[in-house]
Amino acid sequence: MKKVILTIGCLCLFWSVTMSQTPAYFDIVGKWKVVGGEFNTPKPLTKAIEKQIKVFKELFFHSVFVFQADHNFNFNIAITEMKIQKGHWKYNENKNRYVIQDWKDKDKNNSDLMDIEMKRDGDKTYFVLPTDDELPGFSIKLEVVKMIE
């Protein structure tokens, strides 16, 4: 009986350590609708820039991210220039981020269209889009919900 309890205890410990160190790689698979979020911008902003950001937020907050199990990716947004069709996603363990690329660049490591950090806070899920390289002081944190298909 002690051996059974010890074996089960070891398996539980191994499982918990493994799960805490391994990202939930395929948790991202599915269709994710943006339901809110935050755009943090450096201050001060001109009225024209504030207006543009407000419009951009409204469009962004009605977008949909689609991660398929075969690593196909689509980003549907009302701004045609920002839509991504026939994209490719993969997980970058060094950055702890999902990397979005054109499908034709799927075997390359230096051709990102977008990086996404998936974060959970209680029952809420967020996609954080790091922008420090391109826009210092600007950040995007999107609250998303997984759509039932």
pLDDT single digits (tens) 17-71: 333 333 466 789 999 999 999 888 877 778 888 888 888 888 888 899 999 999 9
Q: What are 66's two structure tokens?
A: 């689609």
Mean pLDDT across the chain, nearest whole number? 80
Q: Under 8 Å CB-to-CB from 62, ≥6 apart: which residues?
A: 34, 77, 78
pLDDT of residue 135: 65
Cα distances (Å, whole numbers) of residue 148 to 3, 5, 30, 56, 145: 43, 39, 9, 26, 9
Q: Tokens 């191994």 identify what position?
A: 14
Q: Is the pLDDT of residue 101 over 60?
A: yes
What's the rounded Cα separation, in Å, for the pair 96 and 63? 23
The answer, as to whether pTM is greater than 0.95, is no
- Residue 23: asked if its preceding bond is cis (omega within 30°), the reply is no
